[in-house]
Chain A
């Protein structure tokens, strides 16, 4: 009963802001994280130390395969070994040398990816001592990095894996600030350190936020911004100052902003209202950066054309609405109408519970389209919580789809992932079996939960 104020809860929690820059190729190397100045030791600071765990050469056979990019294969075969997808095809693929897993009646998708999470920086238990997502002491904090707040023992990571099939996720600072700081993209693999979870080669993102939150937080402190026009004024001056940064004396915040202006750091912009998104698009043009994704874009359906023309993804819930003024016009058809306009759809969570059901949220959004007479194929809808998310996080060339050479981030579902009756049965990350519903020893338990009631339970 944590959320007694039913329809109000999201308002309090909804802090986010992301960017998407589409692009992002990136080779998986721990040493080339873009947008970070080298340290005194000549190395990338806080570099990923993630290493994949061992896995068996595996052949998933007989399942319906959604490849994440619109492809669907009945009675398909997915082969992976040494951490990579080797081949995806029909039943004619040879499985010699692979452990065969019978997927008859089951479904295979790429690992689920959440572009908007606060796991680790707003972890559970959500006590005050854990409130590390908003550096709400200045409306502009481009100098903070979410990874310095992430608690890798957040039990929420394990739920996202077991119930949601989540294999990668972007952790963002909150939305109290106009400019909230750098995001970090993680592999959803239990580790002792955040560096042990960092997705090798993922670009940084920077969180920005429109609208009510920044003006409320700072207006109530009697300082700028206290209005939407104040929001823009503060932002524009910040960009002007960043443009003038010469790098001679290091400035953490300006290094991040410069990274954005140089196209190395992707903007993830929390923004609900259509009119405000349109203003942000113009601000980006004025200042010379690109918005990769609008997050919580509940009114994106009103400007699908503008979003398509500017190559901006909308990261959205299926049905959250009405919890704050700027979410008043949320409708179930948001995703479908964006799809109709040819704009990019990403289903996100912003929530430690919602991240466990991104597939379900996508299915609800698909059904809303069906009622409009739009038949959005299941294989496209799977892309809303796999490839499209990866693309907008700049890791689309490494993961997010089942294609030869990509990371073997794979979910075997015990039924259609767009049905409420299905759950992940097995989840592989880089080819290693990290969750198995059939084997309770393949279920991570965070340090926090050891020795507690319910330790190791199904959850």
Chain B
């Protein structure tokens, strides 16, 4: 009777995810062809919504989204009249722990960090994502179709290798395993590394150096810590033995071989490095890492004081997954936090998405985006246009995660991730009525919807509530 009870047990799901890890994308086999007319369409690319729009998905991919007047022939697909509903691409949530835990406070169910593990950078969530997690079901029903999910730094400054997942009701959640590495370098990084940011920076450099020297083929070009040619007076240059090819590995290895191996693609720039950092000066130090390790593919996460160094971030071309509405000096690295952070970063030309990990639960990404629109009407504040705001939770995070044109957008050829909403998707309480992932319509029921149905009527019946299901 209950769909949920028929789904795979969590144990079974893990095995299957393991088997398919790496396979990825669009099992278009079950994909429906979908044609919808009579809707307001927002494509997620930053443009404003289009009324009287239409969408066509075939073979699991978007063929068209835009004004109804431009709708191509549907080739026999019966168009559904959306009756004024809204259609957007699925929301892309970065960064999350979706699929890694059932109940945050229940340690036995929570795989989102591994405080007592000897490993850190080598941690890999691909085999452990549970597509049956209620959080995945609940967030799917909230219109989130793809997410970056990862273990968090705890035993080490490195959090491990995160994956990009889809939230579809099928066993293969992992769309791209080992998509990124996570490191924390601010206040938290300093505490983990031994009590000081200085320790975090040394640990970080040592780790990358060990990765570089792990094997000849792991060496990266562009080492830059040679003795500077210009004498800067009293400045003492970094000893070349602390960096680059002069560094010696013997005798001081701090990383396990697995962890060092996991960082090889990071130093090579083949795997994104998400750097959790908040303070303006910490952000500058992270940007400077590019001089020392030029191939690093950096993404800033958090960046509450990013607006103070917006020009530097823009010049470095480093994208930001920024806290959306944080405006409190939560700690000393966020003294300048303001809700205008994202608006100011965007105005400076920074590619900026809203950080899902800075909210109580990521299903409120659309609410946060709506708030950034609201700021446009507050004197002195900086927000986003409606189109930019939707993009900051769809196409922009997709682009940052390397999915440009493939997710978070309704451009031709993108995955058929559609959400139909019962109203303006950024407005409070607007809710998906239908969700498609890769063109496959998704079930929207879950533990919460079942509870709601059971307790709609609390009158005593002929049988106890336990029989209502």
Contacts and interface: CB of A to CB of B under 8 A. Distances in A.
A371 B360 CA distance: 23
B429 A125 contact: no
A320 B360 contact: yes
Contact of B428 (A333, A364, A459): A364
B232 to A, nearest CB: 28
Q: Is the interface of A mostly helix, strand, loop or mixed?
A: loop
A284 to B, nearest CB: 21
B340 A457 contact: yes
B101 interface: yes
Contact of B429 (A1, A4, A364, A449): A364
Contacts of B392: none
A410 interface: no
Contacts of B105: 8, 11-12, 212, 323-325
Given A1-B278, A423-B378, A7 B329 contact: no
A176 to B, nearest CB: 14
Interface string A311-351: 00000000111111100111111000100010000000001
Contact of B378 (A341, A448, A458): A458
A367 B101 contact: no
A38 interface: no
B355 interface: yes
Nearest to B97: A6
A371 B455 CA distance: 15
A8 B335 contact: no
B132 interface: no
Given A3-B358, A324-B106, A124 B374 contact: no
Contact of A459 (B153, B338, B429, B447): B338
A356 B337 CA distance: 15
Interface in B316-332: 323, 325-332
A29 to B, nearest CB: 34
Contacts of A6: 96-97, 104, 112, 356-357, 359-362
Given A1-B276, A325-B106, A368-B429, 6 more contacts: A7-B101, A125-B331, A126-B330, A127-B332, A320-B361, A453-B335
A427 B430 CA distance: 28
Contacts of B329: 124-125, 155, 448-449, 452
B52 interface: no
**Closest 7 pairs between A and B when the two form their complex, measured CB to CB:** A367-B429, A8-B104, A1-B302, A420-B370, A454-B336, A324-B105, A11-B105
A43 interface: no
A156 B363 CA distance: 24
B377 A322 contact: no
Given A2-B331, A5-B152, A453 B367 contact: no
A303 B134 CA distance: 24
A319 B363 contact: yes
Interface of A: 1-12, 124-127, 155-156, 159, 163, 212, 301-305, 319-325, 328-333, 337, 341, 351-354, 356-357, 360, 363-364, 366-368, 370-372, 414-415, 418-423, 437-438, 440, 448-449, 452-454, 457-459
Nearest to A360: B428
Contacts of B256: none
B135 interface: yes
B144 to A, nearest CB: 12
Contacts of A8: 97, 101, 104-105, 110, 112
Contacts, number: 216
Interface of B: 95-97, 101-106, 110, 112-113, 134-135, 138, 152-153, 276, 278, 280, 301-302, 304-305, 308, 323, 325-332, 334-340, 355-364, 367, 370-371, 373-375, 377-381, 422, 426-431, 447-448, 451-452, 455-456, 458
B361 A454 contact: no
Contact of A5 (B113, B364, B426, B452): B113
A458 B381 contact: yes
A4 B357 contact: yes
Contacts of B302: 1-2
A175 B370 CA distance: 33
Contacts of A457: 336, 338, 340
A91 B285 CA distance: 59
A126 B326 CA distance: 14
A158 B327 CA distance: 11
A127 B331 contact: yes
A331 B446 CA distance: 11
A319 B101 contact: no
B357 A1 contact: yes
B311 to A, nearest CB: 16
Contacts of B334: 2, 125
A7 B458 contact: no
Contacts of B336: 452-454, 457
A317 to B, nearest CB: 8
